[in-house]
Structure formats: structure tokens, C-alpha cells
Structure 1
Amino acid sequence: MIELIEANWLLILLAVLVGFVVAWFLLSGSRKTRITREDTGEEPGNARRNQALIDAPPAAAKDTASPPEPEDKPEPAPSPAPPPVATPRAEPAAAAASLGGAGAAVNTAVSQEEAGQAAPEGADDLTRLKGVGPKLAAQLNTLGVTSFAQIAGWSEAEIDRIDDQLGRFKGRIRRDNWIEQAKLLSEGDTAAYEKRFGKL
């Protein structure tokens, strides 16, 4: 018997493997789940109630479905309007007469009103300097700079001191040559100013 097994061991091993494969196919086919409906004899009302419970969304989904109502926020109180600032009207008219144009009169009046809010009585219109707009003129007025003669007399140290306080306008004093412009404007030399820096 042992001699027979030794001579045919390969065939025996092959027969065992085939047996395992056949058994596996037979067992896997019987494992498939089959759903069968059993008649339980329940009343139709109970069946509908059970089906409604099955079809209903989970409780967690119900909680997250409706977001909370937003709370009403109180509206901010309106801020009071600033009091009107009186600006002298004589200077724009005089400037308009010296410029000789209606458009220049309107521009001068608007820039004087914007810059003149912080400017004291009798101050020069600093917006006549090239590179100085209404905001920068108002900022200069708050720093105590109000006249062309004052700017014309600045030393290098004063230029540095004022320039450090100009924020985003820093560097404009030297770049736009305010000192020379202010000298010509304080002397009233309009022809030399316009020749060097262009029309006022």
C-alpha cells in the first residue's frame, strides 16, 4: 500500500485539490442569502406603521436639517453729522481773478474748501504747490505749516522733521522741490514759477 502511495502521490494530491475546489463551490452557492416574505398575519395598519418607521429619516438627520433662526442684531445708531465749517470766500475769488478762468475758479474753490478745513485764517493755499493735494495740504496745516514763506525758509533738519510726519506722502518735499516752488510763490513771481514748474 505504501508503495502504491509513493508511486502515485502526485495523482492523490491532485484528487484532494479537486475535491476541495468542488466542495468550495458547493458551499459558496448555498451561502447566498435568500429573502423570503413570510405571512405573519399582521393587520394592514401595523404593516403601514412599520413601513413608515422604516422610511423615516434618522433622528440625527432631523436635528441637523433645520438650522437655528438667526438672532436680530440691533442696528447701529447713526453718527451725528459734523458741524459745517465756514471757509473764506474772498481768497478763491481773488485766485480766480488772477488765473483768469471760470474752471480755475471752481477748482480753486473746491481745493480751498477741502484744504481749508484745517487751515487758519490768512493761510496760503498750499495746494498751489505741485505735488500737494487737498489731503496733504490739510495734513501740513495740522503740522503747523500754513504759508509759502514758512516752507521757503525750511532748513534740511526741518525738511527731515516734517517729511517723517507725512506718512504715505513721505519724500514729496525734495522730489517735488517744494522749497523752490514756495520761494517763487511767496515772492509772487508767477512768471518764473510757471516757466520752471508749469501753469498754476
Structure 2
Amino acid sequence: MSELIQTYWPMIVAALVLGVAVAWFVFSTSRKTRVTGTSRDVLDEGAAPAERNKALIDSAPAATPMQPAGGAAATPDATGDDLTRIKGLGPKLAATLRDMGVTGFAQIAAWDDAEIDRIDARLGRFQGRIRRDDWVGQAKLLAQGEDAGFAQRYGKLS
């Protein structure tokens, strides 16, 4: 074995040097990212705004408050009720419901299964809360002013 190494040592050293050089080249070039493009982005300073975005900015809003499908729901006063009194309905959900035109306990109390499904589909990651937390039952008690019955069934009012 030692005779073999003594005979071919120049080739072994050359192969080792060549292997180190190739490895260095491969690893050093793969870590560098070069940006060679000269095109400017519309967000660069001094660039004109994109026309498609300008049309979206100038257009009128498409969303309008939704009205209950049944049409027989009671109309709350101008300020509406404090919907956050319903357990499981926080400020973010209350704002979402107000954007949909739901402002009072009487409206929620009048929801049927179809209306619950329609509203629930628009609640995003909060889907399922209406039935799980029994918003309709809570809203019926709150709309009737039965705070004692509400506290007995759902806990103390917050």
C-alpha cells in the first residue's frame, strides 16, 4: 500500500487540489445573488402611478350594507345596541356585523337558519360562532331586557 502511495503521490495531491478548487467554486458562487436588471418599479421615486391601480382608487366603493333576507326584522334605533354584550361576540365581530347592517339585538333575535348560514359564511375565521355561542338565544333575552334571565343562562353581563 505504501509503495502505491509513493508511486502515485503527485496524482493524489493534484486530485485533492482539484477537488478543493471545484468545491470552493461551487459553494462560493451559489451564495452570491446578483441583480443585473435596470428596469424601474412603479413604486420607485418619480415613477408614474400604474393606470390599473388608479382606476381602482378612483372608483366608488362596491359594498353596501346588507339587509336581512326576511325583511321582518325589527329596526334598532340610530345608535344600535352594544353587540359586544353577547357572549362570544367581541369588538371585531361587532364591527363586521355593523358593516353588514346588523346593529341591534332584535335583528339577531329574528335570524332564522338561512339567515344564520348567510351571515356565518361572511365571518371568515369566526365561522360557527353564531350557533356555538347561541347568539340568537342571547339576543332574544337582551332585546327583551331580561338581564336576570340572561345572567342565569349565559352568565353575568360584561
- When normalised by structure 2's length, the TM-score is 0.51
Q: How many residues align?
A: 84
Instruction: Determine which of 79, 90, 105 is the counterpart of 1:133.
Output: 90
Alignment of 1:182 onto 2:105 = no
- In structure 1, stretches of 5+ residues that fail to align are 1-27, 29-72, 75-119
Q: Distance in 1 between matches of 2:154 and 2:108?
A: 17
Q: Distance in 2 between matches of 1:121 and 1:148?
A: 13
Q: Counterpart of 2:79 in 1: which secondary structure?
A: coil
Please report the RMSD computed on the Cα atoms of aligned residues, expressed in angstroms. Answer: 1.8
AA aligned opposite 1:180: G
Q: Counterpart of 2:92 in 1: which secondary structure?
A: helix
AA aligned opposite 2:150: Y
Q: Distance in 2 between matches of 1:140 and 1:163?
A: 10
The 5 Å alignment of 1:18-167 reads 121-167=78-124
Deviation of 1:121 after TM superposition, in Å, equals: 3.4
Q: Distance in 1 between matches of 2:78 and 2:145?
A: 19
Structure 1 residues 114-151: Cα deviation after superposition (integer angstroms, max 9, x where no partner):
xxxxxx93200000000011011000000111100000
Q: Distance in 1 between matches of 2:79 and 2:90?
A: 19
Percent identity, aligned pairs only?
62
Q: Which has the higher contact order (CA 8 A, sep 6+)?
A: 2
AA aligned opposite 1:130: K
- In structure 2, stretches of 5+ residues that fail to align are 1-6, 8-43, 46-76
AA aligned opposite 2:102: V
Alignment of 1:195 onto 2:148 = no
- When normalised by structure 1's length, the TM-score is 0.40
Name the one with the larger helix percent: 1
Instruction: Determine which of 149, 161, 170 is the counterpart of 2:127.
Output: 170
